[in-house]
């Protein structure tokens, strides 16, 4: 599990094809990395990956065909900035919201505009996901826990404070870029409970 509070911004060193899937090599950048361990989970742009190799400043993780098909990871280019978060410990503060690192779909940045010192960002989202997105609810975009300010039939809006822009890969994200979306876990479980009750 993760919190959606980004610990560091890294960079893609390589995306190596491996018999139909791929191995990603990521420079750890500003991620606290001194205690990294083989087999641990690190969220890369919101996608939970397992460390299979590492050195003092980088790590490698394998991405399955499913992951490549359902997230933006397969389209990442070398030197692309990525949001990084290590899995939470049971004793950590939960400053964002509970994030599984299992991406629900891919959205796209539609518009960015200034809002006082902050920025407003509008994302297009797949129609099946929009029913899980609520005003003042939580959404995870490229691994970042954000609060929804507005939602309609095509997408949603959030506000990014200067700290968020400066300390995440949003500083190099542009209009038109694809982003990983994970809806709030609670919304998915509530729907599952309601539909199973109806059966």
For residue 64 the two structure tokens come to 């399955």
Average of per-residue pLDDT across 159-164: 96
Residue 121 falls within a domain, yes or no? yes
Kindly state whether residues 136 and 72 are assigned to the same domain.
Answer: no
DSSP code of 75? G
CA 123 to chain centre: 14
CATH of the domain at 174: 2.40.30.20
Higher-scoring residue by pLDDT: 174, 97: 174
Q: Are residues 128 and 189 in the same domain?
A: yes
Which of 158-161's residues contact partners 24+ apart within 8 Å by CB, and which partners? 158/120, 158/121, 158/123, 159/115, 159/118, 159/119, 159/120, 159/121, 160/118, 160/119, 160/120, 160/121, 161/117, 161/118
Q: Do residues 145 and 69 share a domain? A: no
Residues 78 and 112 in one domain: no
Domain presence at residue 94: no
Mean pLDDT of 76-98: 86
Q: Name the average pLDDT for the chain.
A: 93
Q: How far apart are CA 52 and CA 16, in angstroms?
A: 14
Per the structure, the count of domains in the chain is: 2
Position 128 scores a pLDDT of 94
Q: What pLDDT was estimated at residue 102? A: 92
Contact (CB, 8 A) for 182 and 103: yes
| pLDDT computed for residue 61 by the predictor | 98
Domain residues for the domain of 32 are 8-86
Separation between Cα atoms, residue 59 and residue 49, nearest integer Å: 11
> What pLDDT, in 10s, does the model give residues 9-43?
999 999 999 999 999 999 999 999 888 999 999 99
Q: What is the pLDDT of residue 199?
A: 59
Q: Which residues of 163-176 are buried (b: 16+ CB within 10 A; e: fewer)?
A: ebbebbbbeebeee
């Amino acid at each position: 599990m993760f919190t959606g509070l980004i610990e560091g911004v890294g960079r893609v060193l390589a995306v190596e094809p491996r018999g139909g899937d791929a191995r990603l090599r990521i420079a750890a950048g500003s991620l606290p990395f001194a205690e990294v361990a083989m087999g641990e989970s690190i969220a890369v742009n919101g996608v939970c990956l397992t460390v299979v190799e590492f050195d003092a400043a980088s790590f490698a993780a394998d991405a399955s065909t499913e992951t490549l098909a359902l997230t933006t990871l397969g389209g990442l280019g070398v030197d692309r900035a990525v949001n990084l978060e290590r899995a939470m410990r049971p004793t950590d503060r939960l400053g964002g919201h509970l994030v599984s690192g299992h991406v629900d779909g891919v959205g796209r940045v539609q518009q960015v505009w200034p809002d006082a010192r902050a920025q407003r960002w509008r994302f297009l989202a797949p129609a099946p996901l929009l029913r899980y997105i609520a005003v003042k609810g939580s959404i995870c975009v490229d691994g970042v826990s954000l609060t929804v300010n507005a939602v309609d039939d095509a997408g949603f809006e959030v506000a990014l404070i200067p700290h968020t822009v400066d300390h995440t890969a949003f500083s190099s994200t542009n209009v038109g870029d694809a982003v990983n979306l994970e809806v709030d876990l609670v919304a998915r479980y509530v729907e599952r409970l309601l539909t199973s009750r109806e059966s």
